[in-house]
Each structure stands twice: as C-alpha cells, then as structure tokens.
Amino acid sequence: MNSNTLKKHLKYIVPQIRLALIKEPGGKPIAIGCPDDIERFVEPLKHYSEEHFVAFHLDAKNQVTGYHIVSHGTVSAFIPS
C-alpha cells in the first residue's frame, strides 16, 4: 500500500513522518555476535540513575548501524521518547 492509497483510507488527515539515516563520522563498526558483545557495548548505561530501553539496529553483518532510545525511567514509570 503506497502513501496515496493510505491517505484515502484514513478518516483524519495525519501527517506522514519519514526517517532518514545520516551517517556521522565514527569509529570502527562494532559487530554483535553473542549476548556478551552487546553487554560490553552497553556497559556505560549501567551507571545511569534511570533504566533505558534502547533498540540497536544491525546490518546483515551484525554490525551496529545505529540505536534509538525507546524509553527511559523506572520499572513502575517510564518516559517514552
């Protein structure tokens, strides 16, 4: 279904949002091969006062291409991003 067809079926006008990947200069790509790899990658988050739910995006070679902070807060309350 393309965006024009979707707009026809929506009862209300809703703005369409698009995301784009903008690669910024960085270090060597990190490949994730097992749970221990991701644990070492996120180790600095252990020191935050609030919990963070983070989605990591991987390419076909299991290299981290980006991340997104989905929410942060405590077990009983969180703030969605």
**Per-domain boundaries in the chain:** 22-80
CB 74 within 8 A of CB 50: yes
pLDDT band, residue 12 (cuts 50/70/90): low
Query: How far is the C-alpha of 42 from the C-alpha of 69, rounded, in Å?
Result: 12
Query: How far is the C-alpha of 67 from the C-alpha of 54, rounded, in Å?
Result: 7
How far, CA to CA in Å, does 15 sit from each of 1, 2, 6, 65?
Answer: 16, 14, 11, 27
Percentage of the chain beyond pLDDT 70 is 73
pLDDT at 61: 93
Q: How many CA atoms lie within 13 A of 19 on its CB side?
A: 4
Query: How far is the C-alpha of 12 from the C-alpha of 42, rounded, in Å?
Result: 41
Element (H, E) at 2: none
